[in-house]
């Protein structure tokens, strides 16, 4: 599973992990967690290329993805010289084969060393929220899975509780047709180092509702929870 580190490669990898982070360095640690055999097979099929391309990036100090004791789980460890290099890596991965093939697989990551302030966090969350209102994005299951966390839950205007799988399937069939929904009364509040709560009034097609969304940027924004209440 994953790649096999032997000899000099293993020594180099372990040496990187034992070095204390330097000023400005950004690190990511955590796990990639597959829900079933199909997800695990997609990881195995594309992991070697993903590792090779990442290690070749300017600014990458170390990049290791190794299988955990639990089948279908991989441990991830990344080190980049600074936030610019880390963000460039994230942008490249989002457009890569690895990014497309593993978009819906659960990640449990912790990022340290970012200088992202509250304003940047809020801006990233609003940009992602607006993408969720785009009919073209709503009709694309892959794009929706990139924006919604695996544990995503929505309480809709009818009071129905939706899982990520259910809402992705429903929006694929009926994404809406309003290309320019109107967002008013925007409010935002960071509720953690990488998490922000958004609330707003939405005019979408012929409906008006009050919305709230909880977003986590780890590092890309992914929605954890959404609720809509109709305005009568």
- CATH for the stretch 7-112: 3.30.70.100
pLDDT at 201: 95
Q: Against a cut of 0.85, is the pTM above it? A: no
- At residue 121, the pLDDT reads 83
Which segments in the chain show pLDDT lower than 50? 1-21
> What confidence tens digit (pLDDT) does each residue in 120-140 have?
788 889 999 999 999 999 999
Strands of 26-33's sheet in order across: 60-67, 73-80, 26-33, 106-112
pLDDT digits (tens, 9 = 90+) for 137-171: 999 999 999 899 999 999 988 889 999 999 999 99
| The pLDDT value given to residue 108 | 84
Class of domain 118-230: alpha beta
Tokens coding 7? 């000899």
Of 171, 158, 159, the C-alpha closest to 223 is 171
3-class DSSP state of 198: strand
CA atoms of 64 and 138, how far apart (whole Å): 34
Q: What is the C-alpha to C-alpha distance for residues 53 and 40, in angstroms, rounded to an integer?
A: 20
- Angle of the 37-55 helix axis to the 83-94 helix axis, nearest 10: 130
Give the model's pLDDT for residue 70: 94
CA distance linking residue 92 with residue 158, whole number of Å: 39
- C-alpha span between 223 and 171 (Å, rounded): 16
User: Cβ distance 200 to 187 under 8 Å?
Assistant: yes
pLDDT for residue 57:
97
Which residues are registered as beta bridge partners of 27? 79, 112
Q: Dump strand ranges (E) for the chain.
A: 26-33, 60-67, 73-80, 106-112, 148-155, 161-163, 182-192, 195-204, 207-217, 221-230
For residue 8, the model assigns a pLDDT of 30
Task: List the domain boundaries for the chain.
Answer: 7-112, 118-230
Phi, psi of 199 (to 5 degrees): -135, 145
**Residue 114 CB coordination number (10 Å):** 19
Tell me what pLDDT residue 164 has: 93
Establish whether the linkage from the previous residue to 45 is cis, with ω within 30° of 0: no
Triad 207, 188, 134: Cα angle to 5°: 40
């Amino acid at each position: 599973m994953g790649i096999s580190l032997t000899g000099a490669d293993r020594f180099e990898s372990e040496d990187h992990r034992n070095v204390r982070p330097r000023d400005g360095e950004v690190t990511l640690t955590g796990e990639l967690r597959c829900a079933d055999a199909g997800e695990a097979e997609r990881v195995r099929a594309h992991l070697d290329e993903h590792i090779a391309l990442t290690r070749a990036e300017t600014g990458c100090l170390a990049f290791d993805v190794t299988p955990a004791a639990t089948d279908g789980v991989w441990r991830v460890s990344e080190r980049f010289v600074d936030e610019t290099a880390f963000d460039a890596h994230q942008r490249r991965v989002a457009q890569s084969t690895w990014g497309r093939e593993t978009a819906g697989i659960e990640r449990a990551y912790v990022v340290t060393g970012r200088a992202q302030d509250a304003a940047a966090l809020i801006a990233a969350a609003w940009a992602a929220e607006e993408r969720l209102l785009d009919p073209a994005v709503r009709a694309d299951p892959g794009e929706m899975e990139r924006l919604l966390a695996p544990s995503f839950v929505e309480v809709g205007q009818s009071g129905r509780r939706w899982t990520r799988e259910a809402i992705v399937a429903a929006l694929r069939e009926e994404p809406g047709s309003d290309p320019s929904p109107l967002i008013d009364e925007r409010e935002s509040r960071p509720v953690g180092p990488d998490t922000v709560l958004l609330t707003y009034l939405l005019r979408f097609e012929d409906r008006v509702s009050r919305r709230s969304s909880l977003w986590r940027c780890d590092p890309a924004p992914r929605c954890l929870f959404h609720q809509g209440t109709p305005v009568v």
